[in-house]
């Protein structure tokens, strides 16, 4: 078995998905070095599968710290992508094109209106639209439609291009990313640092370690209690649209969405299945989100199929992110459980974790500390 490598890192980040890369980037912007350890392709579990929607208001049914966290991250996006683009010349196809949440039938209107009432109190720019106003905003909505909420400040990004730009920037900043390293165990060294063991027999030493291993985070053995994160599979597809005819992200009931991308594809998704670490695409899964389109936006079903795929979202027991130091081992930090919103939450997660690593206590991360599960587990 291979032994310790000899060198000691300030920070080791386990997992090179959007979350791990964003943390490394934010640390680098503050002049701090880190090393990313990645078992396979960076972002191969979830980041590459994501639809890239940046839509806080459709991701919760109440105001509170989670909505505020998502809104803060959305507000960081324009500067985040502009800096990445400037540094690398790579565009993540960020578009603040607006999002529509639609009520296809009159019976769906009351629930949508109730949502609009509490949300517009937080953000007066929201608009409650009738069917004809919504069709002007999104011409794909040619089928049955009652009303919609329009969120003008929300939008989308192309997640695979975003992580490509992040990786490009990290390479330019000389932040090492080691691929083919599967971390298995993290143990205290006995003199204030942590030892990071991997399946390949290697062992590295770091002052601080951040767990950003997405849906496989719970597989890693750590001091004290493991963080409970489990995979939720999502099936999704893309069709090719002629030109850039479609414009806005649309959320439709019960759980569907479509996202017109800047490259002329329209991404349509997605299922949610708790089937372990299996990732698969099935006709039944695709039907789940395609069937409602036959009455709402039937033309989308006639477009040529471009690609189908699936990925694994990392979900915590309360479906909220897990951000901050492990209570039983403060040198070990957790950045996981981003579930449906890891792309949206990437900038704020990078900011929060960099604050923790620099010795701060970022107030907006306090509702998401890991100890909420570890305390509950002890009762
Ligand atoms: C179908 C689908 C649609 C989605 N749509 C959206 C969306 O529209 N908007 C949005 O914001 N989010 C969306 N998401 C969610 C988003 O993709 C995730 O929340 C986000 O990618 C999580 O990022 P991550 O870096 O934590 O995980 P990942 O991208 O999974 O990265 C984790 C990395 O850790 C590595 N790793 C794991 N274990 C180890 C180990 N032991 N040692 C070393 N490396 C390890 C993995 O190989 C991987 O590269 C979607 C997800 C899916 C599946």
Q: For residue range 318-328, list pLDDT tens digits in order.
A: 999 999 999 98
Looking at residue 56, its pLDDT comes to 98
CA of 297 from ligand 1 middle (Å) equals 29
Nearest protein CA to atom 26 of ligand 1, as residue: 214
Strand partners, 252: 256
CA of 212 from ligand 1 middle (Å) equals 9
pLDDT tier, 3 (very low <50, low <70, confident <90, very high otherwise): low
pLDDT tier, 375 (very low <50, low <70, confident <90, very high otherwise): low
Cis ω before 254 (30° cut-off from 0): yes
CA of 369 from ligand 1 middle (Å) equals 19
CA of 231 from ligand 1 middle (Å) equals 10
Q: How far apart (Å, rounded) are the C-alpha atoms in residues 374 and 335?
A: 15
CA of 59 from ligand 1 middle (Å) equals 17
Tokens of 303: 């477009």
Verdict on whether the full-model pTM lies above 0.85? yes
pLDDT at residue 220 greater than cutoff 70: yes
Q: How far apart (Å, rounded) are the C-alpha atoms in residues 45 and 179?
A: 14
pLDDT tier, 379 (very low <50, low <70, confident <90, very high otherwise): very low
Ligand 1, residue 215: give the atom nearest the CA: 30
pLDDT tier, 242 (very low <50, low <70, confident <90, very high otherwise): confident
- What percent of the chain is predicted at pLDDT more than 70? 97
Looking at residue 211, its pLDDT comes to 98
Task: Determine which helix (DSSP H) or strand (DSSP E) holds 137, and give its type and residue range.
Answer: helix 131-137
Based on the number of CB atoms within 10 Å of its own CB, is 238 exposed (0-12), middle (13-18) or buried (19 or more)? buried
Distance set, CA 65 to CA 16, 56, 339, 363 (Å): 27, 12, 16, 10
Residue 112: count of CB within 10 angstroms of its CB: 18
pLDDT tier, 6 (very low <50, low <70, confident <90, very high otherwise): low
Of 16, 45, 312, which is best to mutate to test ligand 1, by the most ligand atoms within 8 angstroms of its C-beta?
Answer: 45
Taking the C-alpha atoms of 240, 310, 14 and 222 in order, what is their torsion angle to the nearest 10 degrees?
Answer: 160
Q: How far apart (Å, rounded) are the C-alpha atoms in residues 120 and 128?
A: 9
Looking at residue 378, its pLDDT comes to 45
- Model confidence over 158-174: pLDDT tens digits? 999 999 999 999 999 99
- Model confidence over 345-358: pLDDT tens digits? 999 999 999 999 99
Looking at residue 4, its pLDDT comes to 64
Q: Is the CB of 182 under 6 A from ligand 1?
A: yes
Tokens of 330: 């403060």
CA of 301 from ligand 1 middle (Å) equals 28
pLDDT at residue 126 greater than cutoff 80: yes
Q: How far apart (Å, rounded) are the C-alpha atoms in residues 180 and 158?
A: 25
Of 13, 18, 50, which is best to mutate to test ligand 1, by the most ligand atoms within 8 angstroms of its C-beta?
Answer: 50
Domains of the chain: 4-48+161-228+318-378 (3.50.50.60), 99-152+231-314 (3.30.9.10)
Which three-class secondary structure state does DSSP give residue 232?
A: strand
Tokens of 317: 């027991």
Q: Is the CB of 154 under 6 A from ligand 1?
A: no
pLDDT tier, 1 (very low <50, low <70, confident <90, very high otherwise): very low
Average model confidence (pLDDT) across the chain? 95
- Model confidence over 22-79: pLDDT tens digits? 999 999 999 999 999 999 999 999 999 999 999 999 999 999 999 999 999 999 999 9
């Amino acid at each position: 078995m291979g032994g310790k490598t000899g060198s000691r890192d300030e920070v080791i980040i386990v997992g090179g998905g959007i979350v791990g890369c964003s943390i490394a980037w934010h640390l680098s912007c503050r002049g701090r070095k880190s090393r990313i350890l990645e078992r396979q392709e960076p972002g191969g579990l979830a980041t590459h599968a994501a639809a890239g929607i940046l839509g806080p208001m459709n991701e919760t049914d109440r105001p509170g710290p989670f909505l505020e966290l998502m809104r803060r991250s959305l507000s960081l996006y324009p500067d985040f992508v502009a800096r990445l683009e400037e540094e690398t010349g790579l565009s993540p196809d960020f578009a603040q094109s607006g999002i529509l949440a639609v009520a296809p039938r009159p019976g769906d209107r009351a629930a949508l209106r109730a949502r609009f009432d509490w949300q517009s109190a937080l953000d007066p720019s929201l608009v409650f639209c009738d069917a004809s106003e919504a069709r002007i905003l999104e011409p794909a909505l040619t089928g049955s439609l009652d009303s919609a909420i329009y969120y003008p400040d929300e939008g989308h990004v192309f997640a695979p291009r975003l992580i490509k730009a992040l990786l490009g920037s990290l390479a330019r900043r000389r932040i090492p990313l080691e691929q083919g390293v599967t971390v298995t165990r993290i143990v205290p060294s006995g003199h204030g640092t942590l030892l990071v063991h991997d399946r390949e027999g290697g062992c590295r030493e770091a002052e601080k370690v951040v767990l950003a291993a997405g849906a496989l985070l719970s597989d890693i053995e750590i001091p004290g209690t493991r963080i409970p994160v489990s995979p939720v599979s999502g099936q999704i597809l893309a069709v090719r649209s002629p030109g850039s005819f479609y414009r806005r992200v649309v959320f439709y009931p019960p759980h569907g969405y479509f996202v017109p991308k800047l490259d002329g594809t329209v991404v349509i998704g997605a299922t949610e299945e708790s089937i372990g670490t299996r990732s698969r695409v099935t006709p039944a899964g695709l039907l789940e989100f395609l069937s409602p389109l036959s009455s709402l936006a039937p033309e989308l079903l006639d477009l040529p199929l471009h690609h189908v795929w699936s990925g694994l979202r990392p979900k915590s027991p309360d479906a909220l992110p897990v951000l901050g130091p492990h209570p039983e081992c403060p040198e070990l930090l957790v950045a996981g459980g981003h579930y449906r919103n890891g792309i949206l939450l990437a900038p704020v997660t990078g900011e929060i974790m960099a604050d923790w690593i620099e010795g701060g206590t970022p107030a907006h991360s306090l509702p998401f500390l890991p100890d909420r599960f570890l305390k509950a587990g002890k009762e």
